[in-house]
Chains A and B, each alone.
Chain A
Amino acid sequence: MKEDILHTVSLPAPEWNLKEVLRYAGCRKGDQDVESLAADCMKEAAPLLCYRACWRRYPVRKTETGTHMGFMETASETVRRNLDGCRELILFAATVGIGIDRLIARYGRISPSRALMMQAIGAERIESLCDELERMIKEETCADGLAAGRRFSPGYEDFPLESQREIFRVLDCPRQLGLSLNESLLMSPSKSVTAVLGLGGTVAQACGGKCAGCGKTDCIYRAADRF
């Protein structure tokens, strides 16, 4: 494996996606009022966001009881399936910072509609940041001849949320990104993601829309499958 260090980066703002913001706000289609509320909130939130991430590359190997991801071993079937055939993985953490949490808290007290929209904006921003990060990593690993799969995170199906502790330790999240983990293993700032990305696996893992691989088909947030 190509040995690697812990990378920490700040990225420019990924392109905004109004449709996604509306989807996270629970609107299948927006009308003019909702769209102008969204636009207004986006304008307010933009200067308070930051886009930071850190990642590390690890070897992957099968073990008798499951999968060793280089930083921890797990019996998770989700991990096995997503890393099937992979030789390596990228472990990353990303955040859009605490500014959005402040806005959500602020409007939670005076305007729940704006709070809801801020919440949706935070979700769209962190997902867009992860997409951007994935794209960057794929570009890099492509050069090494390794196809990258889709990211998946602790808490997703049977990938244990407890893995968060290990991930926080090896990525040094508090110091690198200012993230902290509470007793319920949720992250602060809340609009943060930790995820694993398999390298050199099967083509199937890399295909499908962002929700295509998830079994919860009745989810109100489910994105349209696209191939």
Chain B
Amino acid sequence: MNVLDYMKDHILFLDGGMGTLLQAEGLGAGEYPERWNISRPEVVKKIHQAYYDAGSNVVNTNTFGANSLKFGDEELEQIIRCAVENARAAREDSTSSGEKFIALDIGPTGKLLKPYGDLDFEDAVSVFAKTVRIGAACGVDLVFIETMNDSYETKAALLAAKENCSLPVFVSNAYGENGMLMTGASPEAMCAMLEGMGADVIGLNCSLGPQQLRPVALEYLRCSSIPVLFKPNAGLPRRENGRTVYDVSAEVFAAEVESLLRAGIRAAGGCCGTTPEYIRKLTELAGNLEPVPVTEKKVSRVSSYTHAVSFGKEPVLIGERINPTGKKRFKQALRENDIDYILDEGFAQQDEGVQILDVNVGLPEIDEPSMLESVVCELQTVLDLPLQIDTSDPEAMERALRRYNGKAMINSVNGKQESIQAVFPLVRKYGGLVVALTLDEGGIPAKAQGRVDIAKKIMAAAKEYGISEKDLIFDPLAMAVSADQNAAMVTLETVRRIREELGANTILGVSNVSFGLPVRDYITSGFFMAALENGLSAAIMNPHSFEMQKTYRTYRVLHGLDDNCAGYISFAEKVPFEQNPASAGRPAGGSPGTADTEKGISRLQSAITKGLKDQAAQVTGELLKEKEPLQIVSEEIIPALDIAGKGFEAKTVYLPQLLMSAEAAKAAFETIKSVMAGNPDNTSGIRKCPFVLATVQGDIHDIGKNIVKLLLENYGFDVRDLGKDVAPEKIVEKVIELHAPLAGLSALMTTTVGAMEKTVKELKEQAPWCRIVVGGAVLTEEYAREIGADRYASDAMETVRYAEEIYAGLEDRPESRS
């Protein structure tokens, strides 16, 4: 019998702890328990059998750490084969009458995934895949992924299970006292991701006792539309009369777990500290319980590695700014692989309160699949908002979805067969909430009825692919009201009817409505309010638009969604002066060139030396009305930077202060750049020569490198930051491509100095013109010389000084050319 069929009308009883029992049999601390499958099979079998005899329907093989990171291929195969044999022998000899299954147990690798650890996501998938393939070939009944404390590793394991066998997959996570995974995910976020990816049973185990884990279990029951499992510890361990005991007795344990079975848990057992006795007490108490039916929870959700965002109760704001359409500066960033600029767009929107970020990096001249994958990875490293993967390229979509740490929003599918066939298999495999556009081969229907019909058609197609209705959100398409004066009315009617007739969520890219009209924000925000009143669930919008923010905040107040109007009040406090006559007059400021007489420096220089970012940007904007960009750079920014830099060298200014100044200068430069974007002739005067910068292969530390980058950029160098963990050949390739006269290499760890040496050697051979400066915690002047570098820099300013020195000696400088 299939375990899932059995679960339809039975509660499934799982087994209890293994480690504690093996230790009682003499397993030493630090000894691998998996080896006992081979060396002490009788002990392992005895424990399995005791669980079956106590009423467990499932025993997990003794393979928690059986993976290719710990064992060689041959031993791994032998361990898993013997482990399954032991469980099988126990099943045959057990005297109990219940249905019995064998689960292939899979625990975490013990390695943290990149970017915080050093295990690559795909490598993790391969490690789990190997274990799954061996286990499946040995004839287990199900795969049981357990004690996972990182959402990303959980995803890798589940993906490996789904790709390498057709067995049912149970997934269980270990939550801390704060009710979150070690890497930050909430139960709701885990439910969204795992259910979306097609896990069969999900739940929690280990870490704490049943009572402490109760709130997490209840949260699973609230969110999950699939069966939930529960395998807590017997409380916490302590030493008593020379023995390790756990503080929750078998009786108390059974009673606690039984009450959760009554609340809806469908599979239960124990983890650390529980014994066959605990399972016996549990099956005695709960063996005859009627299972509570599992119900479909109709809430649409997406998730990040920390939290979920749900749709329906409150309107959801999705930031549209990570998109090159119509943005010269953004296109430039994409062409130059300037990921930081894109990340900045993400941070700025998060600050404005959006709950999800749309990510679109499609540009004809770039490799979109690689770019989308890397931008998604970078974004999820530095911010915790769920992402909306926005692309029409299925390859780009798959690569981004695969690497995404959570359940993504997907933009988009439409009623065309071609689109459905490309997108739905990806939604089925990776999970996701997919935006469905109400258009098809016949175009966009002019009437609401036509759009509702397409929505119904897409819904039916989704069902065929096994995609739940809750994982569709319909976009009835906002069209320019300047081209068709009924356009907005049709869209609004469609929003209302999809909500009422199909019970589904809707989304709009609201700004299209105002295309071709002056002061577009007024029309867009008016339309936004109308759409919200018609039941719109989410808007893809510009969060920097004051009118849109005003509409959103007002709507929340008027619809009773803003407790004590607190959200509105804090918004109102930030309303700019022009819109808010009640706020006190802002400081008048004086003209940007006005000198700060106290120190004999200008306002911009004062802002930079004091490290005031916003002020530096603002004053630069004002200065641009009076002065040429180059003049501002040479007369204002560089002298200000020099004040800070010299202070640092004289040790009157400390590193944090130097960095604050550098960031203020960067903000000033960014203002200048945005004015000059798309006009490359103007930038050559600011940019000095290329400087290729990287943290060497194997090293993942980049604080120092980032500091160097910031300062070099401020001094006008065209820094090409290749990131961290960069292979020598990649660095060489870039230096040759740009004929870069300077390269900077950083290494923190003793183990990666070898990679640095190799990089220096290859650079010297293939790009002998390039001067190499090295730095990082493990380096010394002497060592730098030994590995053949041209210069050792002990801090960022030293690197800048060296770069300036080399630059001054170059013959083909832009200035010397002109």
Contact = CB atoms under 8 A, between A and B. Distances in A.
Interface of A: 3-6, 10, 25-28, 30-31, 33-34, 37-38, 50, 56, 71, 97-99, 101-102, 104-106, 108-113, 115-117, 119, 166, 169-170, 172, 174-175, 178, 180-186, 188-190
Q: Which 8 residue pairs across A and B have the least CB separation, nearest first? A: A113-B659, A178-B182, A174-B110, A169-B30, A184-B751, A182-B118, A106-B382, A180-B112
B706 A37 contact: no
Given A25-B655, A180-B111, A119 B703 contact: yes
B116 to A, nearest CB: 5
B656 interface: yes
B795 to A, nearest CB: 9
Nearest to A97: B182
Given A112-B662, A186-B749, A4 B239 contact: yes
Contacts of B237: 5-6
Nearest to B115: A105
Interface in B107-129: 108, 110-112, 115-119
B203 interface: no
A25 B656 contact: yes
A113 B656 contact: yes
Given A116-B659, A182-B117, A188-B117, A71 B30 contact: yes
Interface in B641-663: 654-657, 659-660, 662-663
Interface string B611-655: 100000000000000000000000000000000000000000011
Interface string B693-708: 0000010001100110
B610 to A, nearest CB: 7
A30 B660 CA distance: 14
13 contacts: A3-B242, A5-B244, A10-B176, A26-B655, A26-B656, A30-B654, A33-B660, A98-B182, A102-B382, A102-B384, A105-B381, A110-B343, A180-B111
B706 A10 contact: no
B417 to A, nearest CB: 42
Contacts of A115: 703, 706
A71 B29 CA distance: 9
Contacts of A116: 655-656, 659, 703, 707
Nearest to B206: A175
B710 interface: yes
A121 to B, nearest CB: 12
B383 interface: yes
Nearest to A161: B750
Contacts of B707: 112, 116
Given A33-B610, A106-B382, A183 B118 contact: yes
B287 to A, nearest CB: 31
Contact of B654 (A34, A104, A119, A181): A34
Nearest to A176: B207
A50 B176 contact: yes
B660 A113 contact: yes
Contacts of B117: 180, 182, 188
A178 B149 contact: yes
Contacts of A105: 115-116, 381-382
Nearest to B344: A110
A31 B657 contact: yes
Nearest to A155: B750
B16 interface: no
B284 interface: no
Interface string B174-194: 001110001110000000000
Contacts of B750: 184
Nearest to A107: B382
B314 to A, nearest CB: 23
A37 B656 CA distance: 9
Contacts of B655: 25-27, 116
B360 interface: no
B512 to A, nearest CB: 31
B663 A111 contact: yes
A18 to B, nearest CB: 13
B182, B384, B663 — most chain A CB neighbours (10 Å):
B182
Nearest to B272: A175
B110, B381, B663 — most chain A CB neighbours (10 Å):
B110
B204 to A, nearest CB: 15
B311 interface: no
B343 A109 contact: yes
Contacts of B654: 25-28, 30, 34
Nearest to A71: B30
A110 B350 CA distance: 14
B391 interface: no
Contacts of B111: 174, 180-182
B234 to A, nearest CB: 14
Nearest to A9: B236
A170 B108 CA distance: 17
Nearest to B29: A170
A189 B710 contact: no
A3 B240 CA distance: 11
B147 interface: yes
A136 B313 CA distance: 48
A117 B110 contact: no
A34 to B, nearest CB: 5
Given A178-B182, A182-B118, A184-B749, A108 B702 contact: yes
Contact of A101 (B116, B178, B752): B116
B347 interface: yes
B733 interface: no
Contacts of A170: 29-30
A38, A104, A112, A183 — most chain B CB neighbours (10 Å):
A112
Interface string B771-807: 0000000000000000000000000000000000000
Given A110-B343, A184-B698, A117 B244 contact: no
Given A112-B663, A178-B150, 15 more contacts: A4-B239, A5-B237, A34-B654, A37-B660, A98-B182, A105-B116, A106-B381, A110-B347, A112-B659, A113-B663, A169-B30, A180-B117, A184-B749, A185-B751, A188-B116
A5 B239 contact: yes
Contacts of A37: 656, 660
B778 to A, nearest CB: 11
Contacts of B177: 10
Nearest to A52: B176
Interface in B248-305: none
A184 B752 contact: yes
B9 interface: no
B64 to A, nearest CB: 9
A29 to B, nearest CB: 8
Interface string B584-609: 00000000000000000000000000
Contact of A109 (B119, B382, B749): B382
Nearest to A10: B177
A13 to B, nearest CB: 13
Contacts of B751: 183-185
